[in-house]
């Protein structure tokens, strides 16, 4: 059995697998998308539809034209364009047997589809990416963790707050156990934001202040935004605005750093 065939067989057609990264999954598959083929959760199915235009681009590596364009479109808010490029890149990388690059494409596809509100394809993409990372091995454990974190975020988007909170807490414990500092900080930030949505501002403040200890400006921005929400819920509008302004400055800094590393 080929590497990709193994991934396809492991990728759920009935229910999502239980990941070793700490996320508890549902026992039933999501409903099929109106544009989905008979096997909506099969990553190969993406390539059997006419969703990937022939751009005539040279084949990309992990940082080839289609992949880079897809990621840049995602960060630029052009989510449909991002999906088109990333599907093209995933097809190329599958043909090249570049398992890591292909998995990265599906992970970013999950983020793009989530931003479009297509939670069926978002989940399918993230499940596919996580299954590929698991097949590749322990060197991709952090990537598996990211997929589980994004899947929990989808539950939050759908209003399944208790499910999302339990997933975040499990992932937080996993991150602390494995020494994943960045993932720990993101989980604390997500927990803080979710507590704020759940009208639990005191718990939110504790988690967000812990997340704020991260040296990464994008995490600091996320934590500061959440702290602004907390202050606003308490009627402290001046403090809230100060946090929002600080968050905006960190977002600018994070964008500058991201462009330097691309």
The set of residues, in sequence order, having a beta carbon less than 8 Å from that of 67 and lying 6+ positions away, is: 60, 61, 85, 86, 89, 93, 101, 104, 105
For residues 95 and 152, membership in a common domain is answered with: yes
Domain span holding position 196? 180-262
Instruction: Note whether 9 and 138 are same-domain residues.
Output: yes
Angle between helices 119-136 and 99-116 (to 10 degrees): 160
pLDDT, tens digit, 9 for 90 and up, residues 96-116: 999 999 999 999 999 999 999
Segment 246-251 long-range contacts (CB within 8 Å, at least 24 positions apart)? 247/220, 247/221, 247/222, 248/221, 249/221, 250/217, 250/218, 250/220, 250/221, 250/224, 251/217, 251/218, 251/221
DSSP 8-state secondary structure symbol assigned to residue 242: H
95 in the same domain as 186: no
**Is 175 among the domain residues?**
no
Whole-structure pTM value: 0.72
pLDDT confidence of residue 258:
59
Both tokens assigned to 106: 């599906």
Average pLDDT, the chain: 80
In the chain, how many domains are there? 2
Residues 190, 237, single domain; the answer is yes
* Of residues 4, 5, 25, the one with CA closest to residue 16: 25
Burial (CB count within 10 angstroms: exposed 0-12, middle 13-18, buried 19+), residue 97: exposed
In a domain, 173, yes or no: no
Phi-psi region of 220 (alpha: psi -120 to 50; beta: other; left: phi over 0): alpha
pLDDT digits (tens, 9 = 90+) for 32-89: 332 233 333 433 333 333 222 322 333 334 556 999 999 999 999 999 999 999 999 9
């Amino acid at each position: 059995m080929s590497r990709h065939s193994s991934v396809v067989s492991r990728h759920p057609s009935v229910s999502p697998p239980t990941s070793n990264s700490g996320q508890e999954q549902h026992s039933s598959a999501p409903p099929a998308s109106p544009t989905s083929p008979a096997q909506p959760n099969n990553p190969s199915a993406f390539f059997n539809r006419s969703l990937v235009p022939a751009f005539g681009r040279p084949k990309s590596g992990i940082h080839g034209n289609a992949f880079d364009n897809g990621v840049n479109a995602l960060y630029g808010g052009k989510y449909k364009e991002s999906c088109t490029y990333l599907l093209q890149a995933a097809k190329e990388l599958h043909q090249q047997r570049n398992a890591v690059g292909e998995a990265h494409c599906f992970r970013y596809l999950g983020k793009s589809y989530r931003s479009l509100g297509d939670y069926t394809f978002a989940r399918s993409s993230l499940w596919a990416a996580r299954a590929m990372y698991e097949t590749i091995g322990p060197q991709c454990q952090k990537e598996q963790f990211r997929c589980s974190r994004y899947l929990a975020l989808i539950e939050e988007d759908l209003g399944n707050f208790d499910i999302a909170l339990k997933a975040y807490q499990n992932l937080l414990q996993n991150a602390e156990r494995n020494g994943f500092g960045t993932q720990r900080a993101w989980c604390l930030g997500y927990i803080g934001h979710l507590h704020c949505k759940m009208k639990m501002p005191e718990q939110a403040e504790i988690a967000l202040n812990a997340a704020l200890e991260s040296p990464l400006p994008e995490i600091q921005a996320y934590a500061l935004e959440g702290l602004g929400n907390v202050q606003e819920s308490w009627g402290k509008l001046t403090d809230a605005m100060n946090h929002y302004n600080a968050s905006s400055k960190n977002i600018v800094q994070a964008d500058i750093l991201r462009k330097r590393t691309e």
